[in-house]
A and B are shown apart, each in its own frame.
Chain A
Amino acid sequence: MIEKDFAAYLTSFDYDERLAMKIQAPEMLRLYQEGRVQVIDIRFTEEQTAWQLGFGQHIPLNELPDRLDELDPNKTIVTMCPHYDRAEIARLFLTMKGYHARYLTDGMLGIANILRGDTARDYMVTLTEKK
């Protein structure tokens, strides 16, 4: 992986990057179905103990530096937390490390809100069909 220089990244930060660093739930769910993104829950362990998504991987933010080998360099890494503030820290770190990373703007609470009732059923059906 080719690491980025933080100062150089900030100097080149523009409107395109401002959009590119984010991903909204509908696009994430679609790309995940297509196997094009790796989804990482970066919450603390006790948060994951309380509740979790039925897909994606859990790597706590403070373990991320030591667990980069679990990330697929050929996929976009989508970082997520309850809202988005910690996910953005993770996204920035991974970007500096040379990964293509985006953070989930809707957060895990947004995913939980979107995937209810028939929407949850339809999404899980398509995930199963892919496998």
Chain B
Amino acid sequence: MNNKIEIKKLNLHYGKFHALKSVDMPVRKNSITALIGPSGCGKSTLLRCLNRMNDLIAGVRIDGQVLLDGIDIYSHSVEVPELRKRVGMVFQRPNPFPLSVYDNVAYGLKVAGMRDGSRISETVERSLKGAWLWENLKDRLDKPALELPLDQQQRLCIARLLAVEPEVILMDEPCSALDPIATMKVEELMLELRQRYTIAIVTHNMQQAARVSEYSGYMLLGEMVELGQTAAIFTNPSDARTQDYITGRYG
């Protein structure tokens, strides 16, 4: 089986609002899966179900299953912090901590209980290299992360994630705060990361979905309208609503 994650009949309610309607979706291992659709269609909500970030919001009810390697992450035996170490997340706006570059990357390791200074340093270096930041920042590791340019901040957030060696990386519109050149860099980085990680990305930008993803899901009003290989969805959508969206007649 090649699916890292399988979402089965997932329903989510915010109070009375039915935000996700019986969504089924696989996320293939070592590939990039994009979620596209107009604002408010539930794609970010769906993404945040995969590492249980929606648990933080009061009044959310979830039923259905999200299987990670065949195990339901919503079952009672799952430790949420452990789950989030395996399924990391990059947010829409870069959100490095108000700490130094080094401490940002080391944070996940310290949280996980690593105390060995030299191992931490090695991992920090490896993670920064993994996010293509090492050459830029190796002499400025004690600089406050909030003073970096936005695209470096976002790649720092990716580095911070790589340090805890997740299996899945969720990206919630990771480039929406970045300019086109910075966006390109992050996209190239994603294509490289795909070789070792399973990636799910939410994006508003359909060109981005077309450029980086192998699989796409088109969502509308909480439903998964169409799901398949990105090339197929973009050239030959089977649902009229998808057709409308990708040709720009909707949203």
Chains A and B belong together in one complex = no
Chain B positions near chain A (C-beta within 8 angstroms)? none
